[in-house]
Structure 1
Amino acid sequence: MTSSGVVTGVHCARGHNFSKSTAMFIDILAGLGVAGDAHAGKTVRHRSRVAVDPDQPNLRQVHLVASELLEELNTQGFDLSPGALGENITTQGIDLIELPRGTVLVIGDVRLSVTGLRNPCVQIENFRPGLLKQMVGKRDDGTPLLRTGIMTTALNSGPVTAGSGIVVQLPPEPHIRLERV
């Protein structure tokens, strides 16, 4: 089964900034992530994960956030623009959080494999007081629901621009629910 959505913005930051600047396009590099982005690499680049084990594989190469989440939070007064949560790709029309692990997102020639959920951290609270509480919810079964977007790995290389379509290719069943990576 496939479904579709659209890229509404692309973002990149060379430094370990909380937010990323909006760009005309981003270049995805197979096995690495976004060219020129601080989080690109075969091994982890997020500082907290490097401190634990710098040799672990980077399952957080490309970060995606739904524009619907930003819109919801903006109605609550948080004033979040695309890229504000540090995402590389802002999307519309896809319930990112509910995708199963192993889903492939096809954006033009680029294929991204969904690895898990981004875990919200204290930086979110420092960025906008009260935002961290909005990023952690509960699923129907009582387990935590992390709403700060999804993480993917780059299966191949190519450019991504705003306005690009996204085709969602679900993995074979049984589906595995996303957990934090």
Structure 2
Amino acid sequence: MAEIVAVARDEGHRFSKPLLPAIRLLAGLGVEGDAHCGETVKHRSRVAVDPTQPNLRQVHLIQAELFEELAARGFSLQPGDMGENVTTRGLDLLALPTGAQLRLGPNALVEITGLRNPCVQIEAFQPGLLKAVLGRDANGGLIRKAGIMSIVLEGGEVRPGDSIEISLPALPHRALERV
């Protein structure tokens, strides 16, 4: 069963986010009280390019299994450390197609927009981590493992222990790309 392990938010633009007992998702905006909440892009590098572009990065999700994979390589990470809002377990987030919808708990609904593109802040957090969250597939294509991004379709409170239900979009599915 897919479930939420942890939730986090931060009103500032810091790399890691503190864990909370619950977060509230706001339709069309993101996580209430989070620095990335809003209709238009809030990531500083994106704002510098075009502050009017739509915010396709309202909610950041990472699978807890990534932390276990990284621990086997000598890294020590906990939920919230990589700036995610929602840490999941039991769901291969990276295998989902663009447009997949996740029901988080009883009320909140998010739509997957793409992959998080890991930046140099990850390297500053723990040396070697940037390389560890990037991989190569059998054809040499880049694999980004630092989580996925989504927009909020329906708001609601999200808590650790909440279940996650998946709805896939109509075929053909589009693989996730960085957003």
**In 2, distance between residues paired with 1:140 and 1:172?**
27
Using the size of structure 2 for normalisation, the TM-score is 0.97
| Offset from partner CA, 1:99-143 (integer Å, 9 cap, x none) | 000000011211100000000100000000000001111123322
AA paired with 1:166?
Answer: I
Q: 2:6 aligns with which of 1, 4, 9?
A: 9
**In 1, distance between residues paired with 2:156 and 2:31?**
10
The answer to whether residue 149 in structure 2 is matched with residue 151 in structure 1 is: yes
Question: Matched residue of 2:81: which SS?
Answer: coil
**In 1, distance between residues paired with 2:135 and 2:145?**
7
How many percent of aligned residue pairs carry the same amino acid? 53
What does residue 128 of structure 2 align with?
A: 130
AA paired with 1:62?
Answer: V
AA paired with 1:77?
Answer: G
**In 1, distance between residues paired with 2:174 and 2:66?**
23
**In 2, distance between residues paired with 1:67 and 1:122?**
21
AA paired with 2:153?
Answer: L
What does residue 139 of structure 2 align with?
A: 141
What does residue 33 of structure 2 align with?
A: 36
What does residue 23 of structure 2 align with?
A: 26
The answer to whether residue 97 in structure 2 is matched with residue 95 in structure 1 is: no
**In 1, distance between residues paired with 2:91 and 2:138?**
20
What does residue 110 of structure 1 align with?
A: 108
State the Cα distance separating 1:156 from its structure 2 match.
1.1
Question: Matched residue of 2:112: which SS?
Answer: strand
What does residue 158 of structure 2 align with?
A: 160
- Two-structure CA RMSD over aligned residues (Å): 0.8
| Offset from partner CA, 1:19-46 (integer Å, 9 cap, x none) | 0000000000000000000011000000
AA paired with 1:147?
Answer: K
Question: Matched residue of 2:2: which SS?
Answer: strand
Using the size of structure 1 for normalisation, the TM-score is 0.96
What does residue 46 of structure 1 align with?
A: 43
The answer to whether residue 64 in structure 2 is matched with residue 67 in structure 1 is: yes
State the Cα distance separating 1:82 from its structure 2 match.
0.4
Deviates more, 1:133-142 or 1:29-38: 133-142
How many residue pairs get aligned? The number is: 178
| Offset from partner CA, 1:57-77 (integer Å, 9 cap, x none) | 000000000000011112222
Post-superposition, which runs of at least 4 consecutive aligned residues in structure 1 deviate over 2 A? 139-142
**In 1, distance between residues paired with 2:139 and 2:61?**
25
